[in-house]
Amino acid sequence: MPRPSLERLLLAEASSGVGTFEFDLASGQWRLSPYAAVLFGFTPQSAPDSFAEWERNIVAVDVPKLHAAETAAKNTGRYHVEFRVRDPDSSIRWLAGKGSVAGDRANSAPCLFGAYFDITDQKASDARLVNANETLAAHVTDRDRRLDESLSRFHLLVDAVTDYAIFMLDPTGHIVSWNTGAERIKGYTHDEIVGRHFSIFYTAEDRQAELPRRALAAASASGRFSGEGWRVRKGGVRFWASVVINTVYDQNGAVLGFAKVTRDLTERKAAEERMQQAQKLEALGQLTGGVAHDFNNMLLVISGNINAWERHLPRDADPVLRRLSSMAMHGVERASILIQRLLAFSRRQPLEPAAVSVHELTTRLADMLRRTLGETILIETMIPARTWPIFVDPNQLENALLNLAINARDAMPDGGRLTIEAMNLNCAEADDVTAGPYVCIAVSDTGTGMTPEIAARAFEPFFSTKETGHGTGLGLPQVYGFVKQSGGHVRLYSEVGGGTSVKVFLPRYLDGLAAAADAADEVGHAPHGHGETILVVEDDRDVRGLTVEALHDLGYVVIDAADGRSGLRQLEANRDVRLLFTDVGLPGGMNGRQLADEAKRRYPDLKILFTSGYARHAIVHHGRLDPGVELITKPFTFDALATKLRRVLSET
Q: Report whether CATH 1.10.287.130 matches the domain 272-345.
A: yes
Asked if pLDDT for residue 52 goes beyond 80, the answer is: no
- Asked if 569 and 595 count as a contact pair (C-beta separation under 8 A), the reply is no
Q: Residue 346: what pLDDT? A: 46
How is domain 3-118 classified at the CATH fold level? Beta-Lactamase (3.30.450)
Asked if pLDDT for residue 215 goes beyond 60, the answer is: yes
Q: What is each CA distance from 325 to 304, 319, 331, 375, 551, in whole angstroms?
A: 12, 10, 10, 38, 21
Asked if pLDDT for residue 18 goes beyond 70, the answer is: yes
Identify which has the larger pLDDT, 322 or 624: 322
Q: List, for residues 53-74, the tens digit of each pLDDT value.
A: 878 888 888 889 988 888 888 8
Q: List, for residues 427-484, the tens digit of each pLDDT value.
A: 776 556 677 888 888 888 888 888 887 877 777 665 555 554 444 445 677 777 778 8
For 199, residues 6+ apart whose C-beta sits below 8 A from its C-beta are: 173, 207, 212, 213
**DSSP alpha helices (H): ranges in 187-225?**
190-193, 204-208, 211-222
Looking at 24-28, 147-151, 204-208, which range is the least confident one? 147-151
Residue boundaries of the structural domains of the chain: 3-118, 123-264, 272-345, 354-507, 533-650
| Residue 509 neighbours by CB distance under 10 Å | 19
Alpha-carbon span 19 to 5, nearest angstrom: 15
Domain range 354-507, CATH architecture: 2-Layer Sandwich (3.30)
Q: Residue 596: what pLDDT? A: 92
Q: List, for residues 88-143, the tens digit of each pLDDT value.
A: 888 899 998 898 888 654 555 678 888 888 888 888 888 888 777 676 556 544 55
For range 569-597, the mean pLDDT: 91
Nearest residue to 479 (alpha-carbon basis) of 507, 508, 441: 441
For range 353-366, the mean pLDDT: 83
Q: What's the CATH superfamily of 533-650?
A: Response regulator (3.40.50.2300)
Q: What's the CATH superfamily of 123-264?
A: PAS domain (3.30.450.20)
Alpha-carbon span 532 to 606, nearest angstrom: 12
Asked if pLDDT for residue 230 goes beyond 60, the answer is: yes
Say if 272-345 and 354-507 have the same CATH topology: no
- Asked if 579 and 606 count as a contact pair (C-beta separation under 8 A), the reply is yes
Asked if pLDDT for residue 184 goes beyond 50, the answer is: yes
Identify which has the larger pLDDT, 542 or 295: 542
Asked if pLDDT for residue 51 goes beyond 80, the answer is: no
Q: Residue 84: what pLDDT? A: 92
Read off the pTM: 0.36
Most confident of 138-152, 255-269, 430-444: 255-269
- The torsion region of residue 36 among left (phi > 0), alpha (psi -120 to 50) and beta comes to alpha
- Asked if 12 and 34 count as a contact pair (C-beta separation under 8 A), the reply is no
Identify which has the larger pLDDT, 625 or 462: 625
Mean pLDDT, all residues of the chain: 78
- Asked if 173 and 152 count as a contact pair (C-beta separation under 8 A), the reply is no
